[in-house]
Structure 1
Amino acid sequence: MTLLHPSGTDIRVDDALSWLDDDAARRDAAGLHRVPVVRQSDSPMINLASNDYLGLSTHPAVVAGAHAALDDWGAGSTASRLVVGTTALHIDFEHEIADFLGFPAALAFSSGYLANVGAITALVGRGDLIVSDTGTHASLIDGCRLSRARVVVVERGDHAAVAEALAQRTEERALVVTDSVYSIDGEPAPIAELYSAARNHGAAMLVDEAHALGVRGPGGRGLVAELGLSGAPDLVVTTVMSKSLGAQGGVVLGSDLLRSHLIDRARTFIFDTGLNPAAVGAARAALSLLRDDPQMPDRLRANATHLAATCGVPVPAAAVISIVIGDPQPAVAAAAACRDRGVLVGCFRPPSVPAGTSRLRLTVRADLDVDTLDHVAGVVDDALRQVGAR
């Protein structure tokens, strides 16, 4: 079949998706082709690629929490939260995590991605302003884009630039958006300064605490709690059940009025099937374990300090150790070399990181012992030497 282009040239369209072949070839040549790592339930691999910071995803009490929810509620929530997808389990968990993190209210979403997109698009829209930074997670970036608000992006952590953008705006409403702990390298954002800039210029602020819950703050309550900002006015916090809580799902925390607004306006809440009960039951059990053992985050950070020192890289502020290699191909080769020796590590390449900063990303867990950490450090060192990165 051919179509006539306005220029008069015939265009052959036997396969409208034939361009995918060329695109795949370009990605492969650039070292950007991705293949999911398939795990087996009985795998002996040492996993430092997950975000299971506290090692709770397989904890017997967390698994039992999921089982109990399955027994009580079945496999799925069966509908959106506004129809019949809200169980008593959802409400109990929302009350408990709001109380734990020091906020009046919480609303659970099916994932952290949907929580961020839903919160941002419900809070700002066309004719409003968002000030974000270059370190924000893809879910925050997509929420900004989908909101149709004007977006100003500043350098990561530049609170002076945030204040300037807010001062120069013509829009009445504005929202500052940031991660509290950046997911790529585990470094903290200047939350107190950003919040001050927002408040001084009549803006609200949304902070994603996905990589801070269970990692930073008193008893693992996050960086916002560490700074004494829990429940502060005009502050919205998002976090996840899929990292330190070892389960699945996302949460938005704030005032009772915010929760009510999101129920009415957040499209990723209104039109999405509710989070499955097993995930809620598992997250609730994990939250109980964290509440009962507030030293878990201390053990996690001690492990991160030990592994970083043994690997010869700077000690992280959270639980992510980022080893920059540069080009994608040697980073992929180093990750494969680690995998061949029984150690799973993350390999981050563009677009996850800027060009020229492809890296290995190791996420430490609280349940690992020193001998295991030392073995991992040796495997990583050998892999880096193998690809010429050391």
Structure 2
Amino acid sequence: MLTPRDHTMPVILNEPLSFLQRLTEYMEHTYLIHQANTTTDSMERMKCVAAFAVSAVASQWERTGKPFNPLLGETYELIREDLGFRWMSEQVSHHPPVSAFHAEGLQEDFLFHGSIYPKLKFWGKSVEAEPKGIISLELPKHNEAYTWTNPTCCVHNIIVGQLWIEQYGNVEVINHKTGERCSLIFKPCGLFGKELHKVEGYILDKSKKKLCAIYGKWTECLYTVDADTFDAHKKSDKKNSEEKKSNMQTSVDEEPEEMPLPDGDTVQVIPGSELIWRIAPRPDNSAEFYAFSTFAMQLNELEEDMKGVLPPTDCRLRPDIRHMEKGDIDSASAEKKRVEEKQRLSRKNRSKSTEEWKTRWFHQGTNPHNKAQDWLYSNSYWDRNYSLLPDIY
């Protein structure tokens, strides 16, 4: 659940991760980037990149705990040799809250970077987070760059009832070298839940001709199929649903009270389809641990040999999150209050002097691919010189 930064929320509503760690979950299905690198066909690469863009938000499924708001200057790093990447992120702004990240392949085979500014809207019983910001993926081997933005995430029943999540909106993945694009629609669930979690769209060439269709659920899997086959299937599916609908009275303005059950447990596979991504199954104890995936459960690991290497601003060293992970809610609450108060005091002191906050690892600039304002990595984090970092905890 996402909430305004200015309000101190009870720690019991949190999950024991910072938003910077939650962002790192974009990387869970990094194999799709490696897969894109191995193919010589740009359409096949686009399938992999589009699947990666969808998989990057799949960890939101059933994750109704709110990540801790990062403190200004907070950082997080993750090196996964098994998945072939290293990642670092920094909270570069507090008002408005902006998180910047930069990941690179360990074989120098890709760069993945961006900045996220969640814009929040409250609708009585639900809260909607529109993730403003640009995401870029660069594949140097193919001299290609892709950009996209994430769908809107909505948490329902924030006042009373069972919390449930949906994601909706248009996502367009653009290949800036070839002009190809993948236009995806994350569908809102609708009153009877028929469209819950569904994603569909097309890969188009630069003249907007459909090359193939992509469909599935962001909570489950994605398939690709010939565009004409997909259109014919949709036409017959629409005809069937209109016949069903004529027997029911519906109200378009109502919001479902409980999470609608999806129309069938799995995606209806169209003959001739090819599977391009399937979500990694969650561990058996996931429900007891904030609906975490195996990947998420490993994000707070703090090995002995890391302690002398990590910067003092790393999320793993944040006391309120540590206490919550151990189940000590009272200490977590007290520490959360203390570090937030410390942040407010630092901001107040800066406003009295001429001192301005300086980001350490990112700077504002122009995204080289779509010319939008962005936060760009300054290339020095992994030199491990952390002597001048602020004491934020």
Normalising by structure 1, we get a TM-score of 0.25
Specify which structure has the higher proportion of helix. 1
Specify which structure has the higher proportion of strand. 2
Normalising by structure 2, we get a TM-score of 0.24
Q: Which has the higher contact order (CA 8 A, sep 6+)?
A: 1
